[in-house]
Structure 1
Amino acid sequence: MKTALLALSATLALVAVPATAKNPMVGGAAMYSTKTIVQNAINSKDHTTLVAAVKAAGLVDTLNSKGPFTVFAPTNAAFAKLPAGTVETLVKPENKDTLTKILTYHVVSGRITAGQIASMAAHHHGTATLTTVEGGKLMFKKHGKGFQVIDAKGGKARITIANVMQSNGVIHVIDSVLMP
């Protein structure tokens, strides 16, 4: 099973998205397919908490590297849903390991588009499952016109903006923080 998942991930990473596809605006900023995940995220006013967390976890260099990566990027409003003081506690140096685990749970190896998620779900009774860089699983189910992401604890996030192409992957904006 693990071999099949690795083979599927490798195959999906090779599927190209047309270079002519126009990226949606995110957080009031243009997103450029020629920039990295971090270079674009820094410009989104809706992702300042995520960017601060990525910096605190020491993941900037990783998310600026070649990748490719698929990032399910929680908005500031998603982080605000967490219990009071959670973000402030997580970004403290002594909590770096926990923060890194949570953030890498939002990342999948490869460039996985919403269309690929939909195709996988169509072939697996309406759900798709992806393995995160952290090693956990994310399940995807059709929800309205888009997809819902279900984390290991049963928490749910909606993909609000899909297919924001980056030079080193793709971002899907989500409305809740996922927990491993």
Structure 2
Amino acid sequence: MSYFGLKYKYCLGQIFDGCISKIEEFDDNEKLLISSFGCNQKMKTVRFNQLKFDQLDIPQDYIYFILNKKKDIILAIGKKQIGIYLVDSKLFYQKYFNKNLSFSAFVENSYIFLSSTEANFIEIQYWDNFFPGNIINVKHLVGHTDGVIRLCIVDDDYLLSASRDATIKYWKISTL
């Protein structure tokens, strides 16, 4: 069936055993980065004009990712950990947290914002070029009355946060 006159060009088939959590263009050569969650979490790349899948050397307990603007760093997010995957060198660094992470966002190579369904604040950390060994805790943004479940960076200077308290907060990063 075709809606609006559109039809799919390729069928990539079943890529994972579990649900797909995110798909994003990875480079200019029609390469995609795909992550999954469920019983066998993985991250893979595929050139959809060749249908050749490559699994990234990232542990299986990471279920979501964020790419930086240059798309040479993958911020891999798991339930209680964040990993940094450097695409060119294929190195992977990880940091563990005491609480469950609900969402993460970052401003290009400097700040990472972490939220948890267990906390009504947003934790901001400065990561020196995103290497976990260089983490400096910056501050907590307090304004919600229940767990923060989603974060979104807009134009590298605004943070939107959504909470279980049914509110959305709008923060200006440069004035934090």
Which TM bucket (shorter chain)?
under 0.3
The two structures have a TM-score, normalised by structure 2, of 0.26
The two structures have a TM-score, normalised by structure 1, of 0.25
Q: Relative contact order (C-alpha < 8 Å, sep 6+): which is higher?
A: 1
Q: Which has the higher strand share?
A: 2
